[in-house]
């Protein structure tokens, strides 16, 4: 096993449709023009919620890493706040790729994307649109909005509709969004009500920081209609699917079915839940597999 490299973290930012996306660049020390992987998070999450843990490991393996926060969230720009737009988040990925390609301290021709949860679905979509990527990682990915809606259940979905309607009216009138809870207790009115959802989100936040547990309600129907797994068959680069076998948020059966359609897909499975993969032994297992995969395809 090669010795872990030291690295330096830099604060960076780039523009996406005129708004600023804040990020971190992890540069391995002593390596000229290293390959690079771009990391994006899940539903309503920011880069502080354990993206740094993965980025640090990649940098220690000689792979530069850019972890960014979507517009409208965290310390990135964009108004109104807590607006979760699939179209805008995909545009943020495109902007991140263009930013990395423009840098002279990394090798933008040896480039990969890494997404987790909702970002794992984005990683599939982005990889299908960017054949120049050498690799992609899709971790516990959201692949099918209908499957996730079934996991929430019809009663849970119906609870959301009044807030969605109010928010759409607010949007039409140019008012502040009507927000909905992201992760709540079972039976509550929230986008995710699995027993491990709220504890899982809270466990990812660093001590002393607060998770903003709400988004504009208008996103709910767009999530149901979003099926990024269908793009897996269009991904021409190698793509690694990291699937949690007891995932209560993004059902693994649908993910596995989509993953098998990727021409150069690789699948790794873990005896873990959706939020377990970020911490402890499951994290150690998945990050080791991802380093091996990225090192192989980025020629780190």
Q: Are strands 36-40 and 111-116 parallel, antiparallel or unpaired?
A: parallel
Residue at 170 is within a domain? no
Rounded to whole angstroms, the Cα distance separating 34 from 6 reads: 13
Domain assignment present for residue 249? The answer is yes
Spatial distance between the Cα atoms of 225 and 111, rounded to a whole number of angstroms: 29
pLDDT of 4 reads 83
Whole-structure pTM value: 0.95
Please report, for the domain that includes residue 103, its CATH number. 3.40.50.1820
| Ranges of the chain whose pLDDT falls below 50 | none
| pLDDT (0 to 100) of residue 187 | 87
208 domain-assigned? no
Taking a C-beta distance cutoff of 8 angstroms, is the pair 135, 294 a contact?
yes
- Domain membership of residue 97 (yes or no) is yes
Domain total of the chain = 1
Predicted pLDDT at 155: 62
Q: Is residue 175 part of a domain?
A: no
In a domain, 89, yes or no: yes
Owning domain of residue 108: 7-149+228-298
Least Cα distance to 240 among 178, 160, 168, 295 occurs for 295
Closest CA to 140 of 263, 61, 50: 50
Does residue 269 fall inside a structural domain? Answer: yes
Per-residue pLDDT at 2: 63
d(C-alpha 225, C-alpha 238), whole Å = 26
Contact residues for 104 (Cβ-Cβ < 8 A; gap 6+): none
In a domain, 164, yes or no: no
Residue 65 — φ and ψ, nearest 5°? Answer: -140, 135
Q: Which residues pair with 12 in a beta bridge?
A: 23
**Taking the mean position of all CA atoms in its chain, how far away is CA 248?**
17
Whole-angstrom Cα distance, residue 218 to residue 209? 26
65 cis-preceded (ω within 30 degrees of 0): no
């Amino acid at each position: 096993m090669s010795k872990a490299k030291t690295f330096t973290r830099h604060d960076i930012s780039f523009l996406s449709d005129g708004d600023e996306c804040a990020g971190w660049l992890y540069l391995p020390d002593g390596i000229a023009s290293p390959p690079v992987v771009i990391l994006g998070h899940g539903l309503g999450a920011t880069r502080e919620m354990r993206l740094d843990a993965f980025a640090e490991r990649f940098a220690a393996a000689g792979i530069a890493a850019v972890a960014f926060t979507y517009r409208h969230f965290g310390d990135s720009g964009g108004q109104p706040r807590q607006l979760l737009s699939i179209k805008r988040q995909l545009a943020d990925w495109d902007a991140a790729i263009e930013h990395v390609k423009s840098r002279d301290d990394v090798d933008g021709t040896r480039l990969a994307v890494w997404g987790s949860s909702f970002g794992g679905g984005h990683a599939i979509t982005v990889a299908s649109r960017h054949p120049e990527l050498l690799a992609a990682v899709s971790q516990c990915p959201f692949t099918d909005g209908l499957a996730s809606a079934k996991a929430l259940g019809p009663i849970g979905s119906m609870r959301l509709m009044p807030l969605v309607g109010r928010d759409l009216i607010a949007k039409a009138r140019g008012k502040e969004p009507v927000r909905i809870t992201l992760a709540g207790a079972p039976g509550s009115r929230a986008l995710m009500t699995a027993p491990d959802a709220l504890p899982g989100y809270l466990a990812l936040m660093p001590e002393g920081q607060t998770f903003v547990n709400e988004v504009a309600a208008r996103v709910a129907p767009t999530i149901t209609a979003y099926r990024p797994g269908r793009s897996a068959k269009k991904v021409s680069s190698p793509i690694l699917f990291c699937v949690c076998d007891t995932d209560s948020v993004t059902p693994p059966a649908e993910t596995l079915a989509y993953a098998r359609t990727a021409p150069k897909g690789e699948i790794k499975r873990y005896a873990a839940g959706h939020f377990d993969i970020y911490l402890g032994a499951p994290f150690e297992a998945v990050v080791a597999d991802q380093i091996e995969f990225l090192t192989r395809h980025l020629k780190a």
